[in-house]
């Protein structure tokens, strides 16, 4: 009896063990199986496709409203006419290259280049044609007795005078022939070929009504010269030399509206003006100090620099030339 009980218990135990083992094996097999998650994911999927639908509808609406929108009529920017005197020397092409590549970044700019030469040179002609800029190419030689001679100190005679006047002559003649006559939007700026111009200065001057002014860096033996502004008006000038001049400013420090230039057909630069009075000779008849329009944050920012390029030394070139070994003349520099 006891032996039968033992056998039964053993059987029950073995059966229990087998069932548990099968259960465990089944559970383990389920672990590796992919779950049929459709039921759990249904609400998420529905939300995604609803949002997709909405996004699509929005995109469609935006597209339609863009297509029907009338192109906004932007008022045309006034053209800036930049007058640059230039003369042949070793650094001329380098100066004009730098300048032209600055101007390429300025919208609505017309470059009037006036060569100090009895004829237009191939170097400048070629550079302008390839520049990608809107330009006018002129020439006007400086009279011999007015021209700086080799070895003269640079302050002895004014430079670029006849050239700027020739630029003004062309501009007045050309603009008169355009529709709108004397009443045209535009700005005139005199940009020497060796200075450094930030792009910002062109946007500052674009709104010139009569004459706008701003500081010029590295000029007149100073870190900068500038008009001094109080309550929005120019009241005097910060300059180290003869502040009593009518307009003690460098050429790079002002721009004039085209209307004012056209309304004053006689206004020009006086080559006989005493040293430092060239700018004043032009501005005197056009504007009073009280009317000047300060730019560059009330004349507190330097956006143009009166840089001057060192004259390159040619000692070795000359030595080689004497031996017939100079640089190839056919290579334009």
Give the whole-angstrom CA distance, residue 124 versus residue 120. Answer: 7
* Tokens at 220, concatenated: 């007149």
Stretch that binds ligand UGA, among 28-36, 56-64, 157-165, 256-264 (CB under 6 A): 157-165
- Name the 3-class secondary structure at 131: helix
Residue closest to 129 by CA, chosen among 102, 105, 111: 111
Conformational region of residue 276, where left means phi above 0, alpha means psi within -120 to 50, and beta covers everything else: left
Q: How far apart are the first and last CA of the chain?
A: 124
Q: Which does 166 bind (CB under 5 to 8 A by kind): ligand UGA, Mn ion, none?
A: none
Contact predicate 245/276, CB 8 Å: yes
The span of 20-28, 81-89, 172-180, 207-215 binding ligand UGA (CB under 6 A) equals 81-89
For ligand UGA, give the closer residue by CB, 122 or 232: 122
Binding of ligand UGA by 160 (CB under 6 A): yes
Query: Which of positions 128-147 make contact with ligand UGA (CB under 6 A)?
Result: 142, 147
Q: Which of 141, 194, 280, 298 binds ligand UGA (CB under 6 A)?
A: 194
Closest contact distance (angstroms) between CB of 178 and Mn ion is: 32
How far apart are the C-alpha atoms of 197 and 203, rounded to whole Å? Answer: 12
Q: Pick from Mn ion, ligand UGA, none: which does 86 bind, CB < 5 to 8 A by kind?
A: ligand UGA
Question: Reduced to 3 DSSP states, what percent helix, strand and coil does the chain have, rounded to the nearest 5?
Answer: 40, 15, 40
The answer to whether residue 308 forms part of the interface with ligand UGA (CB under 6 A) is yes
| Catalytic status, residue 332 | no
Site residues for Mn ion, 165-194, by CB under 5 A, read 192, 194
Binding status of residue 148 toward Mn ion by CB under 5 A = no
270 binds Mn ion (CB under 5 A): no
Minimum distance from residue 187 beta carbon to ligand UGA (Å): 17
Q: Contact at 8 Å (CB) between 228 and 238?
A: yes
Q: How many CB atoms lie within 10 A of CB 29?
A: 9
Binding site for ligand UGA (CB under 6 A): 84-87, 116, 142, 147-148, 154, 158-160, 163, 192-194, 250-251, 278, 306, 308
């Amino acid at each position: 009896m006891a032996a039968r009980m033992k056998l039964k218990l053993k059987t029950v135990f073995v059966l229990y063990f087998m069932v548990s083992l099968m259960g465990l094996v089944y559970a383990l097999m389920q672990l590796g199986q992919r779950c049929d998650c459709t039921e759990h994911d249904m609400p998420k999927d529905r939300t995604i496709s609803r949002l997709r639908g909405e996004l699509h509808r929005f995109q469609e609406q935006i597209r339609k409203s863009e297509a029907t929108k009338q192109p906004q009529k932007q008022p045309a920017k006034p053209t800036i006419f930049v007058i640059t005197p230039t003369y042949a020397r070793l650094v001329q092409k380098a100066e004009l290259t730098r300048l032209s590549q600055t101007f390429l970044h300025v919208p609505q700019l017309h470059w009037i280049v006036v060569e100090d030469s009895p004829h237009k040179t191939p170097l400048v002609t070629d550079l302008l044609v390839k520049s990608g800029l809107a330009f006018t190419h002129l020439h006007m030689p400086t009279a011999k007795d007015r021209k700086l001679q080799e070895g003269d100190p640079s302050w002895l005679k004014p430079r670029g005078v006849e050239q700027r006047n020739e630029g003004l002559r062309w501009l007045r003649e050309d603009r008169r022939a355009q529709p709108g006559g004397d009443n045209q939007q535009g700005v005139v700026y005199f940009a020497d070929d060796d200075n450094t111009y930030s792009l910002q200065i062109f946007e500052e001057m674009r709104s010139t009504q009569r004459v706008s002014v701003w500081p010029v860096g590295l000029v007149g033996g100073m870190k900068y010269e500038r008009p001094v502004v109080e309550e929005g008006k120019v009241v005097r000038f910060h300059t180290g030399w003869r502040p009593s001049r009518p307009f003690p400013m460098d050429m790079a420090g002002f721009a004039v509206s085209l209307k004012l230039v056209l309304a004053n057909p006689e206004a020009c630069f006086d080559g006989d003006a005493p040293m430092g009075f060239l700018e004043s000779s032009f501005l005197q008849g056009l504007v009073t100090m009280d009317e000047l329009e300060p730019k560059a944050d009330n004349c507190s920012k330097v956006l143009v620099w009166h840089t001057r390029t060192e004259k390159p030394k040619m000692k070795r070139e000359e030595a080689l030339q004497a031996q017939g070994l100079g640089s190839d003349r056919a290579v334009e520099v």
